[in-house]
């Protein structure tokens, strides 16, 4: 190390501490880029604890690992507690999400779980921001308390690890097997461990692992855990290194919450925060009024459409009689399609890229339903009113059902593709949309057939 460099370092450290204080994280990132590990260790050792945590967090993943390993164990644990510090967390939390993705590389798997370990749930959520896991990702919900083993260890050695982990691990019933690089090579169940003779090596006992990335949507990871019937699902970073574990009871809680939200949104209601009977009337009103207003404003379109056709309506008042029936049937057909496709999406049976297949299917289903209802409508309306009226009703039903099923089926997928909760394009939303379309179809067909 030359005197020159030392001067440079002193200057750099001064600048860095100023930049951290003025929350200029981009500046810090720029200043530490391209330095060697030993330089960075040197910088780290000469900053205050909080400053050190900030600098460390701005390192690229590989470099962060090297710096961390180069620190003395006492300094390592100081660093971990500084990273958990609420000032540091709030500094990163205040970053624009896009900046955060850009500035914060994944933390090495050697550090990430240590950061979360022992924190109560509330604080874990905050610290997950420091880890850089996106909102609603499983990285924010996983537990960092697990027992692991190694393929070369024996069953009895692993049982000893289980015994040691009994009082703090989230679960001891599913044990991830890690290779030398902390990558998940398999899982072994406590049951299989107990059934095996003590000398059996884990490599023979372990089964192929299922796992989810920490950045996966929490709902998807929870559904994977539940669908596979697993008691716990290992959570890994982008290099398949273990960073946490999701247990089935947490997965069930996540799914239940999501299902309550989906069901609420489909009904055009904001999800309630507490049980129905203990929610104040005011909050119930608030959970519904916004959507109701949006939908009512949307429905003014129907008034405008009817105004356009007011002359037709004046000439043949009988047309007005069928308006609720026709748009109601359209709404129902649209809701049926939307309900089926939304659920299929939630269960992972359908994906955004299936949109053309869904379109093709819903056109056919809607057309079939339309033919059935249309024939019936024609047969019933003709004797009561007249042949032209019957024909108008029948053809409108065919067209409306086809359009409604198609819109209802495609809308949730389109929402999903642009990363909007498909349930937001709720049944009431689709009804309102289909109402307007249905009225236009109705009057266009009526004018053509009745020659007005």
For 265, the enclosing helix (H) or strand (E) is helix 248-266
Shortest Cβ distance from residue 385 to a second copy (Å)?
A: 10
Q: Which residue has the tokens 């960092």?
A: 144
Q: Does 10 bind a second copy (CB under 8 A)?
A: no
Shortest Cβ distance from residue 144 to a second copy (Å)?
A: 18
- Within 8 A by CB and 6+ apart from 343, the residues are none
Shortest Cβ distance from residue 323 to a second copy (Å)?
A: 6
Question: What does the per-residue mask of binding to a second copy show for 108-147, with x meaning CB under 8 A?
Answer: ----------------------------------------
Shortest Cβ distance from residue 133 to a second copy (Å)?
A: 23
Q: Does 167 bind a second copy (CB under 8 A)?
A: yes
* Gap between the Cα atoms of 187 and 231, Å rounded: 11
- SS3 for 49? helix
Longest pairwise C-alpha distance within the chain:
104
Concatenated DSSP letters of 59-123: S-HHHHHHHHHHS-HHHHHHHHHHHH-HHHHHHHHTS-HHHHHHH-PPPPTTTHHHHHTT--HHH
Which window, 104-112, 150-158, 190-198, 202-210, contacts a second copy (CB under 8 A)? 190-198
Which window, 18-26, 78-86, 124-132, 373-381, contacts a second copy (CB under 8 A)? 373-381
- Contacts to a second copy from residues 236-275, by CB under 8 A: 248-249, 252-253, 255-256, 259-260, 262-264, 266-269, 272, 275
Question: Which of 35, 50, 100, 343 is close enough to bind a second copy by CB under 8 A?
Answer: 343
- SS3 for 2? coil
CA distances from 315 to 188, 305, 319, 441, 452 (A): 78, 16, 9, 18, 8
Shortest Cβ distance from residue 261 to a second copy (Å)?
A: 10
Query: Phi, psi at residue 321, to the nearest 5°?
Result: -60, -30
| Residue 202 or 423 having the CB closest to a second copy | 423
* Gap between the Cα atoms of 25 and 91, Å rounded: 9
- Contacts to a second copy from residues 375-404, by CB under 8 A: 376-377, 380
Question: Which of 38, 364, 379, 387 is close enough to bind a second copy by CB under 8 A?
Answer: 364
Shortest Cβ distance from residue 295 to a second copy (Å)?
A: 5
| Residue 93 or 296 having the CB closest to a second copy | 296
Shortest Cβ distance from residue 403 to a second copy (Å)?
A: 15
- Contacts to a second copy from residues 21-60, by CB under 8 A: none
- Contacts to a second copy from residues 276-315, by CB under 8 A: 276-277, 281, 284-285, 287-289, 291-293, 295-296, 299-300, 302-303, 306-307, 310, 313-314
| Residue 247: both structure tokens together | 């247990």
Q: Does 333 bind a second copy (CB under 8 A)?
A: yes
* Gap between the Cα atoms of 146 and 123, Å rounded: 18
Q: Does 357 bind a second copy (CB under 8 A)?
A: yes
Which window, 133-141, 179-187, 198-206, 367-375, contacts a second copy (CB under 8 A)? 367-375
Q: Count residues contacting a second copy (CB under 8 A)?
A: 97
| Residue 84 or 416 having the CB closest to a second copy | 416
Shortest Cβ distance from residue 262 to a second copy (Å)?
A: 8
* Gap between the Cα atoms of 150 and 187, Å rounded: 10
* Gap between the Cα atoms of 113 and 176, Å rounded: 14
Q: Does 199 bind a second copy (CB under 8 A)?
A: no
Shortest Cβ distance from residue 55 to a second copy (Å)?
A: 40
* Gap between the Cα atoms of 410 and 311, Å rounded: 34
Concatenated DSSP letters of 138-202: GGGT-B--B--B-TTSBHHHHHHHHHHHTTT-SBSSEEEEE-TTSBEEEEEEHHHHHHS-TT-BH
- Contacts to a second copy from residues 203-232, by CB under 8 A: 226, 229-231
């Amino acid at each position: 190390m030359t005197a020159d460099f030392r001067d440079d370092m002193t200057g750099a450290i001064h600048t860095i501490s100023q930049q951290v204080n003025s929350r200029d994280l981009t500046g810090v990132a720029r200043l530490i880029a391209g330095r060697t590990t030993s330089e960075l260790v040197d910088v780290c050792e000469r900053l205050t604890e909080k400053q050190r945590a900030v600098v460390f967090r701005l390192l690229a993943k590989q470099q962060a690992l090297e710096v961390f390993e180069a620190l003395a164990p006492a300094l390592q644990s100081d660093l971990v507690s500084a990273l958990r510090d609420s000032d540091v967390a709030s500094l990163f939390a205040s970053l624009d999400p896009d900046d955060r993705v850009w500035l914060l590389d994944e933390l090495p798997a050697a550090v990430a779980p240590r950061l979360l370990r022992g924190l109560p749930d509330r604080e874990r959520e905050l610290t997950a921001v420091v880890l850089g896991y996106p909102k609603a990702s499983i990285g924010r919900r996983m537990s960092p308390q697990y027992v692991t083993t190694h393929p070369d260890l024996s069953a009895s050695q692993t049982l000893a690890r289980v015994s040691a982990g009994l009082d703090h691990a989230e679960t001891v019933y599913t044990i991830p097997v890690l290779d030398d690089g902390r990558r998940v090579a398999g899982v072994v169940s406590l049951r299989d461990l107990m059934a095996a003779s003590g000398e059996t090596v884990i490599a023979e006992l372990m089964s192929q692992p299922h796992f989810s990335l920490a950045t996966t949507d929490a709902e998807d990871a929870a559904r994977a855990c539940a669908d596979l019937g697993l008691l716990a699902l290992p959570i890994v970073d982008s290099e398949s290194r273990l960073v946490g574990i999701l247990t089935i009871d947490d997965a069930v809680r996540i799914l239940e919450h999501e299902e309550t939200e989906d069901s609420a949104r489909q009904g055009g209601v904001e999800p309630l925060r507490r049980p129905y009977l203990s929610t104040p009337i005011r909050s119930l009103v608030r959970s519904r009024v916004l959507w109701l207003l949006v939908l009512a404003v949307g429905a003014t379109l129907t008034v405008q459409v009817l105004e356009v056709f007011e002359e037709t309506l004046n000439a043949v008042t009988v047309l007005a009689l069928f308006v609720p029936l026709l748009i109601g049937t359209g709404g129902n057909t649209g809701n049926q399609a939307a309900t089926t496709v939304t659920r299929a999406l939630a269960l992972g049976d359908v994906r955004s890229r299936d949109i053309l297949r869904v379109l093709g299917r819903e056109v056919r289903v809607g057309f079939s339903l339309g033919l059935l209802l249309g024939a019936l409508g024609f047969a019933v309306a003709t004797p009561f009113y007249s042949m032209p009226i019957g024909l108008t009703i029948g053809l409108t039903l065919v067209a409306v059902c086809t359009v409604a099923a198609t819109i209802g089926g495609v809308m949730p997928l389109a929402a999903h593709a642009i990363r909007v909760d498909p349930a937001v394009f709720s049944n009431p939303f689709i009804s309102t949309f289909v109402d307007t379309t249905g009225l236009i179809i109705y009057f266009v067909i009526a004018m053509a057939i009745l020659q007005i």
